[in-house]
Amino acid sequence: MIANGGMHDQDLAQKLLSTGHADLISIGRAAIANPDFPNKILYGRETQRFVPEMIKPELTLTNTMEYFNKSLFFST
Ligand SMILES: Cc1cc2nc3c(=O)[nH]c(=O)nc-3n(C[C@H](O)[C@H](O)[C@H](O)COP(=O)(O)O)c2cc1C
């Protein structure tokens, strides 16, 4: 079972996984806003909030990175 929608909420995602209500979680908008979302969660880094302007004029990594300062992504 894959839980989808709002799974960027760590407490909710963890609850669904730990109770067996979900086997996997999917991340949509949070992954667009944070291509390194799993690492940010793993290392406790601040995540960026999704805004529709990130995918204009179309959804590409380049456009999303141009929305932000590129240094925000893929840092270690
Ligand atoms: C830009 C964008 C494109 C999407 N395209 C599709 C799609 O082609 N097919 C689909 O089933 N869901 C699509 N979705 C929905 C996501 O897969 C997901 O169900 C939705 O964003 C809720 O998850 P989230 O709260 O993690 O964003 C899209 C969502 C976004 C933001």
Please write the tens of the pLDDT for every residue from 56-75: 778 888 877 777 765 455 44
22 lines ligand 1 (CB under 6 A): no
Q: What is the mean pLDDT of residues 23-51?
A: 93
41 is written with which tokens?
Answer: 């969660």
Atom of ligand 1 nearest to the CA of 26: 26
Taking the C-alpha atoms of residue 73 and residue 62, their distance in angstroms, rounded to an integer, is 12
- Looking at beta carbons, which pairs linking 20-27 to residues 24 or more positions away fall under 8 Å? 26/2
Is the distance from the beta carbon of residue 55 to the nearest atom of ligand 1 less than 6 Å? yes
Give the pLDDT score at 69. 62
- For ligand 1, whether the C-beta of 30 sits within 6 Å is yes
> How many separate domains does the chain show?
1
Residue the block writes with tokens 């995602």: 13
Expressed as residue numbers, the domain containing 7 is 2-72
Task: Provide the 8-state DSSP code for 51.
Answer: -
Between the CA of 34 and the centroid of ligand 1 the distance, in Å, is 15
